[in-house]
Structure 1
Amino acid sequence: MADIQIVQEHNLSPERARAAAQQVADKVAAEFGMQWRWEGDVLRFERSGVEGALTLGAQRAALQIRLGMLMSAFRPAIEAKVTDKMRRIFAAA
């Protein structure tokens, strides 16, 4: 299993941070075919071979992704895309 951990700092209110996280979830779900659900301030997502969580804090969003054996081959591409999406969305929000 391959793990990806990304932390994105932000200066957003809790409501705006949640809206930004929702944008990340919507884009990633559409691109990678994932299902997601909110559990408090944690956005959990999964699909075959991938599971993870985006945890919202007061000034940061922490993303953890666990890739299964087959998906681990795509780790660099997945990490680059998700890092870019988080940076753009949280900075723009």
Structure 2
Amino acid sequence: MANLHIHRDHTLGLAKARKVAWAWAEQAESEFGMACTYEEGDVEDEVCFKRSGVTGTLRVNKASFELDAQLGFLLGAFKDKIEAEIVKNLDQLLAAPAKPAAKKKKP
């Protein structure tokens, strides 16, 4: 089993960082087939994600993003590539201006 740990400091504050974390979770679900759950807290949010061969968490607070993931045996062979893709996606989201969350329409 291979472990990933990615840390990124930011100056967004919790509200804007929360939007980035939501965008990351949506991207993880749509592009990588992850099942994500998002739990908001007073000072820190946590995104739990998993799919076959991968489990992990993304913790978000007003000053940093902290991602920890465990890769199963088969995906462990691709650890460097997976880590590079996660870093690229997270860095792109941090560099982009935060978009307002999409509002759901009432039926």
Q: How high is the TM-score relative to the length of structure 2?
A: 0.81
1:61 and 2:52 equivalent? no
- Considering fraction of residues, name the structure with more helix: 1
- What residue is the counterpart of 1:39 in the other structure? 39
Instruction: Tell me by how many angstroms 1:22 deviates.
Output: 1.2
Instruction: Tell me by how many angstroms 1:28 deviates.
Output: 1.9
Task: Give the total of aligned pairs.
Answer: 93
In 2: Cα distance, 1:38 partner to 1:29 partner: 12
Identity percentage of aligned residues: 35
Q: Deviations over 1:1-45 (max 9, x none)?
A: 101110111111211101101111111222211100012310000
Larger RCO: 1 or 2 (CA < 8 Å, sep 6+): 1
Q: Does the 8 Å contact 1:42/1:55 carry over to 2?
A: yes
Gaps of 5+ in 2: 98-107
Q: Deviations over 1:26-85 (max 9, x none)?
A: 112222111000123100000111000000122100011110111111211110010011
RMSD: 1.1
Gaps of 5+ in 1: none
- What residue is the counterpart of 1:72 in the other structure? 76
Q: Secondary structure at the match of 1:70?
A: helix
Rg comparison, structure with higher value: 2
- What residue is the counterpart of 2:9 in the other structure? 9
Q: Does the 8 Å contact 1:10/1:91 carry over to 2?
A: no
